[in-house]
């Protein structure tokens, strides 16, 4: 029998505002960067880097386009109106925690108003109150792949230092408002994403730029500073707050035991922890200099930035983990595995999901142990899961055994990691209710315990249906992870 998880372990699920809420222009909400992303059918898709970027002309066209049809994140799964029903279902599974995000443009529609939008603030009050009714702890991300689109038009997003002050004011506003309702916070979702996807992670348009990486690393630096200054404010507002950073944790193996492969993998794993090195330790690590030089990037810092990073460290480190990949110095090895943030060469020992992501539960234990050794602070797995196209049987049931298998194997490895001495606060599997995909804007790529009746084109009743994994996860939580 697997080891039992600690009594206070935070079991739950995760979503992001722009992937579930819908109601994209209701109650004073401003347009967000997620609202301008169009759905592209599989046959017409470009490489991910291009699919997740946007040209100035496309942006301008999307801003003036008021329809919902082609923009799935504008409609989400209507969580905005159905949150009570959804939270009731989470409670039925026994959730102790629910990871969600606040949509910045719901609070500051253009990002720089003098006063926040009261209706937006009230919506999250209601959501937190509802969670509280069931004793579910909110874990709130301040920035999960969206920001007021106006800040892109005006400042080119996080490339501009202006964003720091605007973000800290937004953070300050919600910390003050929810200081008695929320304890756990994350500043930026997958903060390392901005390096590869400047628009998704930072609202940065790179069209026409000679060196995209220069803009991306500068944006990242601004996010580091904004995160650190927000943590400072959080501690002043409520010393009980726990504020974490959030990283897309890639794991890269050497394809072979050739020393060149080992060295290459080591370098990539170092880069995979670059952002947590800054946010947990409080300074830019020495190895980054060489990477920045290779990219011909030089980061502009203001006096005082180093002290800001040093003095405002995170309380815990959270991360997403879905898959692993490999690297090789042998150019004849070309078969690839492509996740959304992580990609690389395949690993012949692993199976692959329907979307080509290689499944590696043991890898989760590897990263947990590695990060525990490196940082010695509490960890939190805030995303993990299997995207699959579920089928409704003739009797109306959804038998997602493949998802149960994936999750059970990862939970087992977390239990082992805890037995190895890792301090793990909790687990929020990704997309506990089906939602719009971050990378492809599809609906058919489902992660949930709860099925939502909607297709890629937005047809469907939005009815919520419990999948087989719903009953399974309920049992897992009740047995503290032993009944897998
Ligand atoms: C992470 C994002 C999530 C999410 C998840 C699954 O990178 O933080 O927002 O959606 O990946 O990815 P996808 O939706 O591309 O399948």
Low-confidence ranges of the chain (pLDDT < 70): 1-2
The DSSP secondary-structure symbol of 333 reads -
Q: For residue 303, is it within any domain? A: no
Got the DSSP string for 182-195?
--EEEEETTTTHHH
Got the DSSP string for 185-240?
EEEETTTTHHHH-HHHHH----TT-S-HHHHHHHHHHHHHHHHHHHHHHHHHH-TT
48 CA distance to ligand 1 middle (Å): 13
ipTM of this complex: 0.98
Residues 6+ apart with CB under 8 A from 346: 325, 326, 335, 336, 337, 352, 358
Q: For residue 268, is it within any domain? A: no
Ligand 1 close to Cβ of residue 437 (< 6 A): yes
Q: For residue 387, is it within any domain? A: yes
Specify whether the CB–CB gap between 77 and 116 falls below 8 A.
Answer: no
Give the count of alpha carbons within 13 A of 349, CB side only: 11
User: What CATH number is attached to the domain comprising 437?
Assistant: 3.20.20.80
Ligand 1 close to Cβ of residue 188 (< 6 A): no
Q: Which pLDDT does position 48 carry in this prediction?
A: 78
Residues 6+ apart with CB under 8 A from 97: 10, 11, 12, 136, 137, 138, 139, 184, 426, 428
Q: Which pLDDT does position 467 carry in this prediction?
A: 98
Number of domains into which the chain is organized: 1
Closest Cα to atom 14 of ligand 1: 437
Q: For residue 395, is it within any domain? A: yes
Q: Which pLDDT does position 435 carry in this prediction?
A: 98
Q: Distance between CA 430 and CA 99 in Å, rounded? A: 9
Q: Which pLDDT does position 338 carry in this prediction?
A: 85
Q: Which pLDDT does position 136 carry in this prediction?
A: 98
- ∠ Cα 22 26 29 (to 5°): 90
The H or E element spanning position 242 is strand 242-248
The H or E element spanning position 101 is strand 97-101
H helices present in 277-356, as ranges:
288-294, 305-311
Q: For residue 347, is it within any domain? A: no
456 CA distance to ligand 1 middle (Å): 16
Ligand 1 close to Cβ of residue 248 (< 6 A): yes
Closest Cα to atom 5 of ligand 1: 438
Residues 6+ apart with CB under 8 A from 294: none
Q: Residue 118 catalytic?
A: no
258 CA distance to ligand 1 middle (Å): 33
Q: Which of 141, 111, 122 is nearest to 27 (CA)?
A: 122
Does this model's pTM top 0.95? My answer is yes
Q: For residue 26, is it within any domain? A: yes
Give the count of alpha carbons within 13 A of 355, CB side only: 24
- The total number of residues shown for the chain amounts to 484
Ligand 1 close to Cβ of residue 192 (< 6 A): no
Q: For residue 286, is it within any domain? A: no
Ligand 1 close to Cβ of residue 52 (< 6 A): no
Q: For residue 340, is it within any domain? A: no
Q: Which pLDDT does position 455 carry in this prediction?
A: 96
Ligand 1 close to Cβ of residue 382 (< 6 A): no
Minimum-distance ligand 1 atom for the alpha carbon of 145: 9
**Residue 26, domain extent:** 10-249+360-478
Q: Distance between CA 476 and CA 409 in Å, rounded? A: 12
Q: Which pLDDT does position 395 carry in this prediction?
A: 96
Q: Which pLDDT does position 1 carry in this prediction?
A: 63
Q: Which pLDDT does position 69 carry in this prediction?
A: 87
339 CA distance to ligand 1 middle (Å): 9
């Amino acid at each position: 029998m697997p080891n039992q998880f600690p009594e206070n372990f935070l079991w739950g699920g995760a979503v992001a505002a722009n992937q579930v809420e819908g109601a994209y222009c209701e109650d004073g909400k401003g347009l967000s960067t997620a609202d301008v992303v169009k759905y592209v059918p599989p046959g017409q898709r470009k490489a991910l880097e291009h699919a997740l970027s946007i040209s100035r002309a496309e942006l301008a066209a999307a801003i003036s386009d008021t329809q919902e049809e082609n923009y799935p994140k504008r409609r989400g799964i209507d969580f905005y109106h159905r949150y009570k029903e959804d939270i009731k279902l989470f409670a039925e599974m026994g959730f102790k925690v629910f990871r969600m995000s606040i949509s910045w443009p719901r609070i500051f529609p253009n990002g720089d108003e003098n006063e926040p939008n009261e209706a937006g603030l009230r919506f999250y009050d209601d959501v937190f109150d509802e969670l509280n009714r069931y004793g579910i702890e909110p874990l709130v991300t301040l920035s999960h792949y969206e920001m007021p689109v106006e800040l892109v038009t005006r400042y080119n997003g996080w490339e501009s230092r202006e964003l720091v002050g605007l973000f800290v004011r937004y953070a300050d506003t919600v910390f003050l408002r929810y200081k008695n309702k929320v304890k756990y916070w994350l500043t930026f979702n997958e903060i390392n994403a901005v390096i590869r996807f400047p628009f998704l992670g930072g609202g940065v348009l790179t069209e026409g730029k000679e060196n995209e990486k220069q803009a991306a690393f500068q944006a990242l630096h601004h996010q580091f500073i904004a995160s650190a200054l927000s943590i400072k404010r959080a501690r002043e507002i409520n010393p009980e707050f726990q504020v974490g950073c959030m990283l897309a944790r890639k794991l890269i193996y050497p394809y072979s035991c050739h020393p060149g492969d080992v060295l290459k993998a080591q370098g990539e794993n170092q880069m995979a922890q670059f952002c947590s090195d800054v946010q947990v330790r409080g300074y830019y690590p020495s190895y980054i200099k060489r990477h920045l030089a290779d990219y011909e990037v030089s980061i502009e810092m203001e006096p005082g930035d180093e002290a800001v990073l040093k003095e405002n460290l995170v309380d815990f480190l959270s991360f997403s983990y879905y898959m692993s990949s490999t690297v090789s110095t042998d150019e004849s090895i070309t078969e690839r595995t492509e996740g959304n943030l992580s990609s690389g060469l395949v690993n012949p020992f692993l199976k692959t999901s329907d979307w080509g992501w290689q499944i590696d539960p043991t890898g989760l234990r590897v990263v947990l142990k590695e990060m525990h050794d490196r940082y010695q602070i509490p960890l939190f797995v805030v995303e993990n899961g299997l995207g699959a196209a579920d089928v409704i049987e003739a009797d109306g049931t959804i038998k997602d055994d493949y998802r149960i298998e994936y999750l059970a194997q990862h939970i087992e490895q977390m239990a082992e990691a805890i037995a190895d001495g890792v301090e793990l606060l909790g687990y929020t599997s990704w997309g506990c209710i089906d939602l719009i995909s971050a990378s492809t804007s599809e609906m058919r790529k489902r992660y949930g315990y709860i099925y939502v009746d909607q297709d890629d084109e937005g047809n469907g009743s939005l009815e919520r249906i419990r999948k087989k994994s719903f009953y399974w996860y309920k049992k897992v939580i009740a047995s503290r992870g032993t009944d897998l």
